[in-house]
Amino acid sequence: MLFTFTVSAPANTPETAPVKETLRLKAGMITKISVKIPSGHAGLAHLGIFDGETMIMPWGENQWIQGDDEEIVWEPDYILPSEPAVLEARAWNEDDTYAHEFPIRVWVEPPESRPDWGVIEEGARRLAQFVQRVMGE
């Protein structure tokens, strides 16, 4: 499933009072997030994506997505275990003249499409036991 959002930071939005935009998603695994930084940002607008109070993109404190005329892509395999599945985008803008937008795309695989690694590991273990018996080991 593809979810799309656009977060806009007005001119002179301070880091201490960022614009906060709720990203409503479905439960599952985030397989990809892309953030477009349009031409004209000049590194003055900043964006972070949060799960609660934890910044997940970019990872770490005091780091923000910023740039000019580029796209940032992250393929995290980040699990959203239940509904409502919500992330939050926070943006601020040092530009004293122009607002800046960040188009965001989030790809989520539904929970039923994820492999059950426990079942796979058990099957591999049983197959190895069978091969050992057949080979006489």
Domains in the chain, CATH or no CATH each: 2-135 (2.60.120)
> Structure tokens of 131?
């091969």
Q: Is 133 a residue whose pLDDT tops 90? A: no
Strand order in the sheet with 54-57: 19-25, 85-93, 45-51, 54-57
Residue 106: name the closest of 76, 70, 137, 135 by CA: 76
On average, the pLDDT of the chain sits at: 91
Q: Is 96 a residue whose pLDDT tops 90? A: yes
Rounded average pLDDT over 46-70: 92
By percentage, how much of the chain surpasses pLDDT 90? 72
Residue 45: name the closest of 85, 88, 5, 96 by CA: 96
Rounded average pLDDT over 41-55: 95
Name the 3-class secondary structure at 98.
Answer: coil
pTM for the full predicted model:
0.79
